[in-house]
Amino acid sequence: MGRPSSNSKKMRNLVGILKDKVSLIKATLLLSKKSTTFNVAVLRVTTHFPVDPPPEAAVDDVLALGHHHRPGASAVVGSLLRRLRRTQNVYVALKCLLTLHHILARGSPVLKDQISSAIGPHNNLLNLSNFRDESDPDTWEISAWVRWYAAVLEQGLLLDHRSPSASQNGETLGQRISTTTLLNEMGLLVGMVEQICQSPESLHYQRINLVHEVMRLVGEDYRMTMR
């Protein structure tokens, strides 16, 4: 598989732009007004082109829509996960994962709960272990970053789901943390660090702003984990 020419890349970008416009038009015309708001917000944060991180304002719009009300949070998370699971484009997939990461890092408790409810405490939560974009050699290589990033977020979700929460049934946190719980949590922490350290060898792709942003956010998680 040879390297894509500049003309083929331009054509692919044009097709991506057209797909984004068609998706926005369909969301506007075919869905109810309430559903349109959530779907359009997700589409704007997960465009095919440009291949840059989602604009901060677009991410903030998604976070704001699901900030307070459970139905809104459910609609946002549902739309985002459908987008992620249906796409075969590496850049859309990375943007979906970045948006999920932002929700987990700074979203409201309601939004985070909806992610846990929608995905569940199972391995391969995001179901991207076989993801591949075979459009050209670059997207094939970057697909490894999608699979790795999804695995990192899965480890974070498992850790968050199994970590002991605040007091329940009158028990203090200290009373609820058993030796087994601590060992399980330590195992998950080790698993997350190991997964982070298994980043793809194609580090030269970090020159792409989208991949660089992925590494920046994962690096922040790593530093938090090692504290």
Q: What is the pLDDT of residues 122-138, one digit of tens each?
A: 545 788 999 999 999 99
Q: Is residue 172 over pLDDT 60?
A: no
pLDDT grade for 88, boundaries at 50, 70 and 90:
very high
Pick the residue with more confidence: 147 or 24?
147
Q: Note the helical H segments in the chain.
A: 6-30, 33-45, 56-65, 70-86, 90-106, 109-119, 137-162, 173-176, 179-196, 209-226
Confidence grade of residue 156 (pLDDT, cut at 50, 70, 90): confident
What's the fold here for domain 6-165+172-226? Answer: 1.25.40
Higher pLDDT, 59 or 181: 59
Provide the mean pLDDT of the chain: 83
Q: What percent of the chain is predicted at pLDDT more than 90? A: 47
CB 153 within 8 A of CB 112: no
Query: Up-side HSE of residue 125: CA atoms within 13 Å toward CB?
Result: 24
- Top pLDDT among 216 and 187 is at 216
According to the model, what pLDDT value does residue 22 have? 77
Specify whether the CB–CB gap between 92 and 46 falls below 8 A: yes
- pTM for the model stands at 0.82
pLDDT of residue 17: 78
Which of 25-34, 83-92, 104-113, 155-164 is predicted least confidently? 25-34
Indicate the range of 5-19, 132-146, 180-194 predicted with least confidence: 5-19
In this prediction, residue 169 carries a pLDDT of 46
